[in-house]
Amino acid sequence: MNLTIAAQKRDGYLFIESKGTLENVDELLAHSRLIYEEIHKHDFKKILIYEPETSLPLDLVPHFKLVQSYIEQYPPDIRELTVAVVVADNNKEVAATWETICQSRGLQYFVFTSLEDAVNCLLEE
């Protein structure tokens, strides 16, 4: 897994930038843990994950398993988060499926291809 993650506090939300390549479910799970550690470290409820330079597996099965791990392995406070994720156009379809799975399980996770739209989603509440 080739990946970098950096977090910055912004006015009203935590901005996390991810760059790299995720090829399978194990790498998705590791990426998720790194993201959650940043969220937990900074204690924000509104999160923007900016990852248009992160390539994701295009197979849907790893994304189903990823969402299942959120429910089974993370504390219940993940349901209190609003997460906006910005992805590249070529990841939009798989990310939209991830979004649907998340929302069907009570998570407030949203996918965008525009940084502006993602910020507006977080700040309009």
Q: How many domains does the chain have?
A: 1
Q: Which domain range does residue 88 map to? A: 2-123
Q: Which residue has the tokens 């990426």?
A: 31
Helix pair angle (25-42, 61-73), 10° resolution: 40
**Average pLDDT of span 46-73:** 93
The pLDDT of residue 58: 85
The pLDDT of residue 19: 96
- How far is 63 from 46, CA to CA, in rounded Å? 22
pLDDT band at 2 (very low <50, low <70, confident <90, very high): confident
> Does the predicted TM-score (pTM) go above 0.75?
yes
Lookup: tokens for 102: 């998340």
Whether 56 shows a pLDDT value over 70: the answer reads yes
- CATH assignment of the domain containing 12: 3.30.750.24
Helix (H) or strand (E) holding 1: none
The pLDDT of residue 125: 58
pLDDT tens-digit readout, 63-94: 999 999 999 999 999 999 999 999 999 999 99
**Average pLDDT of span 26-54:** 94
